Copies of this chain bind each other. A is one copy, B any other.
C-alpha cells in the first residue's frame, strides 16, 4: 500500500530522510511535523489533516518525552499502542514518515567524570548524572497555569520540541489548542529563537458529549467520565455569559469552579487569561482564553475555550 508511512527510529536517518525529500527533485517541498506522544485519537488525526493543508510532506513523531514528566507524574502509566497508532496513520493516509525514536536524550561521551557533586544534585528527571543538561526556557509563559503545578513541564516540552525541530527540520509544525499554553510557548520559542518554522494551532476536538479528546481519557471510569463533562459544559456556559454581558472574571471563574466541584472534580486551576501573554485578566476587554485543569479520580484533565469579544 503506497500510503504506508516509512518508520524511522534513528535521529540521523530522520534528518537525512527529511533533507532528501525536501530538496530532492530540483524543487523544495514543504514538510510539516506533527509531534505526538502516541496513543493517537481523533484529536491527533485532526492535527494531521491540518498539516496536510500546509505541506506536501507530513511527518508524525511518536515519543513519550520523559523530560516533561516529574518523578511523581504518570510517565510509567502513560498509555501507548504503537501498532494501533500505525494502523490509524495508514487508514487516514497522507503520512509520509513516522519518527519513533527509542530515546532522544543521549548520555554524555564516555570518560566524562562529572564528579561527586552531580550525583547528589540531579538537575532533571531525564538523567541526573552526566546526561542531558541543555534546556529551553520560555521564562514568562512557562510560569502560570499548568506551570504552577508542573514546574518542569514546559521546560521539557520546549526542549523536546526544539530537538525534534532540529532533527526533522520541518517548515511547518502543528500543535493542538487543547494544550493552549504549550502552543503559545512553542510559538514564542520559535519567534524568540528564530526557528524557520511556521507554527499552526489546531482547534480542540471533542467527543459528541463535549469532552475534549485526550489520551488520558482512557484512564477515566465511566462515572468519572460523566462527571468530567462538567468542564466543557461549564466553560461553554461561561462563554455564553460573557456574550450576554458578564465580563467579570471573578464571577465567571466562580461559575466554572462551582460546577466542576459540584460534579466531583478537584480544581487545579481555573483562569481567564490574555490569549497571547497568558496573563490573568480581571475584566474581559481583550481576546481571552478560559483555561481549566481539574482532577477526576487519578486523572488530571485540561480544557479551554477561547472567548473573543
Chain A residues with a Cβ under 8 A of chain B: 11, 15, 23, 26, 28, 104-106, 108-109, 111-115, 117-118, 123-124, 132-141, 158-159, 162-163, 166-167, 169, 188-189, 191-196, 274, 276-277, 279-280, 286
With A and B bound together, what is the CA distance between A115 and B285 in angstroms? 13
A301 CB, nearest partner CB in chain B, Å: 27
A interface, over-half SS: loop
Assembled-state Cα–Cα distance A189/B133 (Å): 8
Pick 7 A–B contacts, CB within 8 A, sort by A. Answer: A105-B192, A115-B277, A123-B139, A124-B139, A134-B136, A134-B137, A167-B194
Whether A188 touches B141, Cβ cut-off 8 Å, given contacts A23-B23, A196-B15, A277-B112, is no
Minimum CB–CB distance for A78 against chain B, Å: 23
- The distance in angstroms between the C-alpha atoms of A158 and B188, with both chains bound, is 17
Contact A137 B140 (CB under 8 A): no
A29 to chain B, nearest CB (A): 12
Inter-chain contacts of A104 with B (CB < 8 A): 194
Please, how many angstroms separate the alpha-carbon atoms of A189 and B199 in the complex? 23
Tell me if A166 and B194 are in contact (CB < 8 A).
Answer: yes
Partner of A163, one of B113, B158, B193: B193
Residues in B whose Cβ lies below 8 Å from that of A109:
276
- A155 — nearest CB in chain B belongs to which residue? B137
Cβ-neighbour of A139 out of B105, B133, B194, B195 (below 8 A): B133
Say yes or no: A193 contacts B134, CB within 8 Å.
yes
Residue of B nearest to A159 (CB): B193
Question: Which residues of chain B have C-beta atoms less than 8 A from A108's C-beta?
Answer: 276
Q: A140: which B residues are within 8 A, CB to CB?
A: 114, 118, 123, 133
CA distance in complex: A23, B166 (Å): 18
- A138: which B residues are within 8 A, CB to CB? 133-134
Q: Are B141 and A194 in contact (CB under 8 A)?
A: no
A109, A117, A134, A195, most chain B CB atoms within 10 A = A134
